[in-house]
Structure 1
């Protein structure tokens, strides 16, 4: 856990050192790199231990994945990237709907957020602004970080004894499949 936190601090330090001569896309890349360790740390701590943190993090993760997949389906020219985006959109939409359906009984006092948090909105903004030649790599890099975060969140919460923990256990294999496919695509780039 210390290692991802240190990597996040290093990325933030790099971001702070960026000067105006660097391209906006270079700054976006550093921001995206810093977002991964921050998300991992959050998922491993509060999100994995409290319903009040698990639900919003899982919901925002699904929202981010769906929005990012929509962008990839519009912008990517790579059939494999579009195939991954389609699978991600389908699976995260189903996961989101399943979790929302169980909340009234499983966590009646927890309301999923309606909007992305600042970190995930920043990822979406960076994805939208990625150049055509860098789009696929940006999308895949974001997906690897986001799916590592989601696995940490769902695996950590799956040890509980509740319908939401059963949900966490049920979505983990799909998240793993997305991660494996994204890693394979990155290796081929």
Structure 2
């Protein structure tokens, strides 16, 4: 860690935990003006790290039934060109800027998706209100009218056959829109 940089150590606990205790070089850590413990001692923040903060940090989680110690966080002061320690997170605003940028990208993608869906729904509603629907065909025929007239002719043929059949049971289909049924 670079000198005069703040550092946050976090004690992640899976399951129920009644108490957390932080240790520095084997001694219990008490908060002061430069070492701040969060309310449940989940986070230990060191403001302006200096040589007095160099050493090993460890968190122990306690429950009524068990006790578990974390791995050791070794904190040391490094040169400007070295990388940060594993387990120690800088409290700088760089991470917040990156997080906000990622959230911004996600929000823009969601907004585009919602806009496209709204446009498609509006277009479908307009087509339904006008009563004109374009029938897409698999066969490659470009005329929707040909498909409709073919279907109407087949329906008339079936009706004629069914009327001649003595075992035919009449079925009636209502030409009412689903939306009309919902309105009533």
Q: Which of the pair is proportionally richer in strand?
A: 2
Q: Which has the higher contact order (CA 8 A, sep 6+)?
A: 1
Computing the radius of gyration from Cα coordinates, the structure with the larger value is 2
Q: TM-score, normalised by structure 1?
A: 0.18
Q: Which of the pair is proportionally richer in helix?
A: 1
